[in-house]
A and B are shown apart, each in its own frame.
Chain A
Amino acid sequence: DEEVHVRQRVIEVDPQEEAEFEKELRALMQESLDSRKLELRARPTLNMMIPMNVFEGPTKDHHGRGFEGESGDETLDEEAGGSKEVRVKVLVKRGNKQQTKQMFIPRDCSLVQSTKQKEAAELEE
């Protein structure tokens, strides 16, 4: 592999530009929120049940092992430090069909924290 040494860039962000950007971003967020508050309030929750096929197979192992995923995934996970990432299934809709896709997310992501804590609590019982 070709190795290149480039001096680390010093990223300088113009504070005024940053402030202006932040303002625009917040306005967009706020506007998005406001627009939704008027809409859909009364709409019922549709289909938030987790489809059964998600649980098929040895998916109960939350340590990322035991998935019947594509080959190599498992070792990759190990190489990455084993506990750095967790494998999750992302539930998406294609038209009206439910589908799951695999993804790796960092173990320290708040998203998986609570699941892991509960799990640990369960183990202790």
Chain B
Amino acid sequence: EETGDDESYEFGKRDFAEHACRYCGVTNPACVVRCNVPSCRKWFCNSRGNTSGSHIVNHLVRAKHKEVCLHKDSPLGETILECYNCGCRNVFLLGFISAKTDSVVVLLCREPCLSVNALKDMNWDLSQWCPLIDDRCFLQWLVKVPSEQEQLRARQISAQQINKVEELWKTNPDATLEDLEKPGVDDEPQSVALKYEDAYQYQNVFAPLIKLEADYDKMMKESQSKDNLTIRWDIGLNKKRIAYFVFPKEDNELRLVPGDELRLRYSGDAAHPAWQTVGHVIKLTAQEEVALELRASQGVPVDVNHGFSVDFVWKSTSFDRMQGAMKTFAVDETSVSGYIYHHLLGHEVEVQMVRNTLPRRFGAAGLPELNASQIFAVKSVLQKPVSLIQGPPGTGKTVTSAAIVYHMAKQGQGQVLVCAPSNVAVDQLAEKISATGLKVVRISAKSREAVSSPVEHLTLHYQVRHLDASEKSELHKLQQLKDEQGELSSSDEKKYKALKRATEREISQSADVICCTCVGAGDPRLANFRFRQVLIDESTQSTEPECLIPLVLGAKQVVLVGDHCQLGPVIMCKKAARAGLAQSLFERLVLLGVKPIRLQVQYRMHPSLSEFPSNSFYEGTLQNGVTINERQSQGIDFPWPVPNRPMFFYVQMGQEEISASGTSYLNRTEASNVEKIVTSFLKSGVVPSQIGVITPYEGQRAYIVNYMSRNGALRQQLYKEIEVASVDSFQGREKDYIILSCVRSNEHQGIGFLNDPRRLNVALTRARYGIVILGNPKVLSKQQLWNGLLTHYKEHECLVEGPLNNLKQSMVQFQKPKKIYN
């Protein structure tokens, strides 16, 4: 066989050639290809070495990259491998076909081009399609395998090293294998502590963790380019161009949220020049369609619909603001009061009371009457500089928070700052606080101004736009001009900006309460504001540095609301999570001995449904504020095994499977039974908006959506209206009926995600009227908490099997639980 190896053996050249295999160093141009992912562009050879696939295939699989380019000195020259017909560059889909009668071959993708009927009538032989990647190697006649001698002289890289270096490349694309040996790369970062000497030490611990998380986030989002998207064009009410497209989501990958910035690209064709622009996500439909509002409307190729690409535009803003807050905490003495400074760092401080005259009534106009534990919470919070409120599911956290804010605002200490990590929570709170009659301004990120919100009338940008026209005629005029023309002259633009800034300031300053996300508290528009009183809702879902952003604006009195028995903040970087970044400030304060005030009466669940969560997660303290009668579903004829106990555990023995993305699970039997249960609910008179289907796995979520829309026994539209979501995304929300699909069902691998008691707590506490759990008791019973749940259901004769119209008590044997979680 022909190998041009002599040249590549020139001394010294081997290590430096740009096109050397990044794993083993082989440089023979006939044997290497370049990964064509823009952020990667690394070269790899087609040798197997000591691993189960060739180096290039190893890289593509590990990095989930899918495009390659041949070397300029290879027989085909510098060529990006792509489908001859449609241009698809995914090498996992490509293969060669040959002409029926002539020695001409061409690359064609397997889906859809190979199955296009028109091709069959042409001169091509489709029966002998020959995949580009075969036996985990590129076709050896296209990309040569280095000779035995070349391979022996190359670096002998192991699978473990490959995994490590690929992991390293995710955060440092230029890293080399030598870097693996360097100290530091594999080191775990310093873990969070309970107490800190000073704010500098605090910063030294948290800054690297935030950096790790930021790097991971950046790497993950920037690697999320999607090609071959089909666009549907539209125009918004504000006359801006909107692109609709389906953005397939996979587990552990990017989840888009409104406000995210994306770059939309078209590579051009004979009739259209190449084009790109950025835009903001303003909406995500239930059908997983994304609405992207484009920044610039000029030159948009609206007559084209296919072949678009989209990239994520990563922004460091939120991480910068966390780092900034930590720095302010350290260097600015006035950032928080001395008491709070020492308290947060875990120093021993003498108990301080806030001297305030307490109101005679603790409730507030516009809010429901408070119960005893809520009144107690309001009263104690008002007297203390730092307090924690624990709000178990359905206990009226938001109402209590609104009452607290109301009384704080009435104390004349200046404006109150109200934050939460999520926009949804901020909106809910803003609405409740506004109901008390206080003047509320909701500040949302500029990128979210086009995102619809239930409290739009409270937002700053809305208030600026809807000023009394006569009062602010100049700004009003300029705004109109800008809306009509799309832009202003530079002098007008200057004037417009200055006027707008002044107006924003004026409106914000006149408010009693400012509401924004934790990250939003770092908005430049609040830079010169000071807030002595700060309330943070859902604080157990934010990291410490995130919580710090609203605090360092001068806090003297802090209220953290949350529930550390439900899910905490989501940390993507495992290293940072292991080092403790996932622990919230609320939790650390609990560990330091601050006793949270617990709200004790729940108004959500049928008393039968709250029993197990109360006993397992809240030491049995959760009382029911609703009666069985109030949670009796009138006229709903659903086959609950025990009347008056609207719950059952439906025994499932179907196997789990790995989902298409390879990173999640699904369970077909459970999915088909979910459909049957949903259908039964619908037939009995329940409407789709009352039902929620939840599951811990994205793979199962996607499968259920798909399955129900195809196989649902009733009208398709009914199933489309049913919300199917992950357990995590359902935190903070409720539905009348919940169907929980557990998915995991295997002999040996354990139950993964379901192991977290906090996730189980969230899953069990979403339903108001009834819950159905589908799972495999044999597998789940190995874990202590699940074993307890199963026993509870069995004791109440709610552990059942068989067809839905003939449920029988199940005699399935449980396994002995192991005592350890995780």
| Bind each other | yes
Binding site for B on A (CB under 8 A): 4, 6, 9, 11-14, 17-18, 21-41, 43-50, 54-55, 59-60, 62, 76, 80, 85-93, 96, 100-106, 109-115, 118-119
Identify 10 new A-B residue pairs, CB closer than 8 A, beyond the known A40-B112, A93-B82: A31-B661, A33-B93, A37-B112, A45-B85, A50-B123, A89-B105, A101-B75, A104-B75, A104-B141, A114-B125
Q: Are A40 and B105 in contact (CB under 8 A)?
A: no
Distance in angstroms between the alpha carbons of A47 and B61 in the assembled complex: 31
Q: Is the CB of B141 within 8 A of A105?
A: yes
Q: Is the CB of A86 within 8 A of B250?
A: no
How many residue-residue contacts, CB under 8 A, span A and B?
195
Question: 1/0 per residue B89-102: CB within 8 Å of A?
Answer: 01011001111111
Tell whether, in the assembled complex, residue A109 and residue B104 are in contact, meaning their CB atoms are under 8 Å apart. no
Residue in B closest to A40 when the chains form the complex, CB atoms:
B112
Residues of A contacting B658 with CB < 8 Å? 23, 27
With both chains docked as a complex, state the minimum distance between the C-beta of B65 and any C-beta of chain A, in angstroms: 10
User: What are 10 A-B interface contacts by the 8 Å CB criterion?
Assistant: A13-B159, A22-B52, A25-B136, A60-B102, A62-B103, A80-B2, A91-B104, A100-B104, A103-B105, A118-B100
Majority-rule SS of B interface residues? loop
- Checking B57, B82, B85, B100 against A48 with a beta-carbon cut-off of 8 angstroms, the contacting residue is B85
CB distance from B114 to the nearest CB of A (A): 10
List chain B residues, Cβ under 8 A from A48. 84-85, 106, 119, 122, 124
Determine whether the beta carbon of A102 is less than 8 Å from that of B75.
yes
Interface size on B, residues (CB 8 A): 76
**A110 touching B130 by the CB < 8 A rule?**
yes
Inter-chain CA distance A35–B101, complex, in Å, is 33
Chain B residue nearest in CB terms to A93 = B84
Instruction: Tell me which residues across on chain B come within 8 A of A111, comparing CB atoms.
Output: 96-98, 105, 128, 130
Contact A25 B61 (CB under 8 A): yes
Which chain B residue lies CB-closest to A64? B103
- Contact mask B633-661 → A, CB, 8 Å, 1/0? 00000000000000000000000001111
Quote the shortest CB–CB distance from B449 to chain A (angstroms).
Answer: 32
**B93 proximity list for chain A (CB < 8 A):** 32-33, 36
Choose one: A28, A87, A109; the contact of B64 (CB below 8 Å): A28
Please give, as numbers and ranges, the residues of chain B lying within 8 Å of A85 by CB-CB distance: 141
The complex places the Cα of A94 from the Cα of B588 at a distance, in Å, of 61
With both beta carbons as reference points, the residue of chain A lying nearest to B307 in the complex is identified as A40
Cβ contact within 8 Å between B79 and A92: yes
| Interface residue B785 (Cβ < 8 Å from any Cβ of A) | no
B132 to chain A, nearest CB (A): 11
* Residues in A neighbouring B229, C-beta threshold 8 A: 39
Interchain CB contact under 8 A, A76 and B104: no
Chain A residues near B662 (CB-CB < 8 A): 23-24, 26-28, 30-31
Q: A90 touches which one: B106, B123, B128 (CB < 8 A)?
A: B106
- Return the contact of A50 from the options B102, B109, B130, B248 (Cβ within 8 A): B102
- A13 & B50 in contact (Cβ 8 Å cutoff): yes
Q: Say how far B84's CB is from chain A's closest CB, in angstroms.
A: 6
Neighbouring A residues of B306 by C-beta, 8 Å? 40, 43
Contact for A113 among B128, B136, B660, CB less than 8 A: B128
Return the chain A residue nearest B230 by Cβ. Answer: A39
Give the residues in chain A near B66, CB-CB below 8 Å: 28, 32
Residue of A nearest to B103 (CB): A88
Within 8 A of A (CB), among B108-157: 109-113, 116, 118-119, 122-125, 127-128, 130, 136, 141-142, 149, 152
* Closest B residue, CB atoms, query A30: B660
B76 at the interface (CB under 8 A from A): yes
CA distance A89 to B437 in the complex (A): 79
